[in-house]
Amino acid sequence: MTDHIAFSVDKQALLLLDQRFLPDREECFVCRNTADMIYALQTMVVRGAPAIGVTAAYGCYLAARESAEAGPAWKDRLNTLLTELEQARPTAVNLRWAVERMRAQWAALPAASLDELLSTWLGLAQDMHSEDIEICKAIGRHGADLIADGDTILTHCNAGALATAGYGTALGVIRAAFEQGKRIQVIADETRPFLQGARLTAYELAKEGIPVTVACDNAVGHLMKRGMVQKVVVGADRIAANGDAANKIGTYTVALAAKAHGVPFYVAAPASTFDLRIASGDEIPIEDRTPREVTHIGEHRITPENVPVYNYAFDVTPAELIAGIVTERGVLTAPYVASIRAIIGGK
């Protein structure tokens, strides 16, 4: 599954599989400018830290095309559009990482014309796209060694091909273990309120013939107590320098249950998801999304009018609950400050 993010040279547009409608139907969302890109990111047409990064790279290219409307002032206009794009979502660090990588390429070509920059940026975005698939496959190879034949792996949210350019991080580990011939089962938390596990993880795995069962989020402790879970593997949207990991809301609860029942809890993420500028998870900004995601299922309201809700999109799992962080460069273990510095370094 790699065609859910596709750039059309003929249309000069980014074509995204609209994840809001899965698994009911497969529709394409077309991004032609910065406003389209920001809308797609904020409404979760596309989601998942690596996928956000790849999408943002193409967004920079589309922003550069859009900046031509400003004539001689195109550089100022482009800088403004890049800032708007970079701020579209606060938690996933891959968004900032992608924009900064594109900016760095621009800074290395100070005399470049807009046409020259467009050509360079499209090539870089395409490189980042293909790089991410290979990174995910490397994560899968490293992580598969942690999975035993006969394991049932629980995962939260969707850290699969849909959350990346292809193959996935947490689901990359699962895919690689399955491809090795290991007889595994997967439990996908439904992941309220956006139901990424029930809708997207189950969709991906069922499509590929990997055995998957959906469980409601609050069944995790019960499943572990009954010995039905041998490993937990999740993705991450940002990892601090000390190994604290931000992921979809509910992940922290899963980690606590895993610790209580002696179930190894692993995080799978690329080097680009590490934010070495922050010392701990306390500094990670947590997105607070629209209440409607909690108050409604589809068009049907499920809470009383005028009752407030909490809809934090992410939580932070402390490093001490994490048995290992699987990256494309190997599996990091505690003490994480030292292992992250040694393996991730300056990325």
- Active-site residue list: 237
Q: Where are the beta strands (DSSP E) in the chain?
A: 5-8, 13-17, 28-31, 152-155, 185-189, 212-215, 231-234, 238-240, 245-248, 265-268, 274-275, 296-297, 300-301, 314-317, 324-327, 330-332
Cis peptide before 50 (omega within 30 of 0): no
Q: Is the dihedral of CA 54, 60, 61, 62 positive or negative?
A: positive
Q: What are phi and psi of 299, to 5 degrees?
A: -95, 0
Determine whether the annotation assigns residue 89 to a binding site. Answer: yes
Are 280 and 317 within 8 A, CB to CB?
no
Question: Is 218 within any annotated ligand binding site?
Answer: no
Return the closest-CA partner of residue 157 out of 194, 120, 116.
194
Among the listed residues 1, 68, 63, 53, the one whose alpha carbon sits nearest the alpha carbon of residue 31:
63
Was 48 annotated as part of a binding site?
yes
Task: Locate 5 and state its tokens.
Answer: 């993010």
Closest CA to 92 of 345, 341, 287: 287
Mode of pairing for the β-strands spanning 212-215 and 185-189: parallel
Q: What span, in angstroms and rounded, lies between the C-alpha atoms of 98 and 27?
A: 26
20 is in an annotated binding site: no
Q: 47 a known binding residue? A: yes
To the question of whether residue 42 is assigned a binding role by annotation, the answer is no
- Within 8 A by CB and 6+ apart from 239, the residues are 245, 246, 267, 269, 273, 274, 275, 325, 340
User: Which residues have CB under 8 Å from 114's CB, separation 6+?
Assistant: 64, 67, 68, 74
Q: Which residues are annotated as a binding site for substrate?
A: 47-49, 89, 196, 247-248
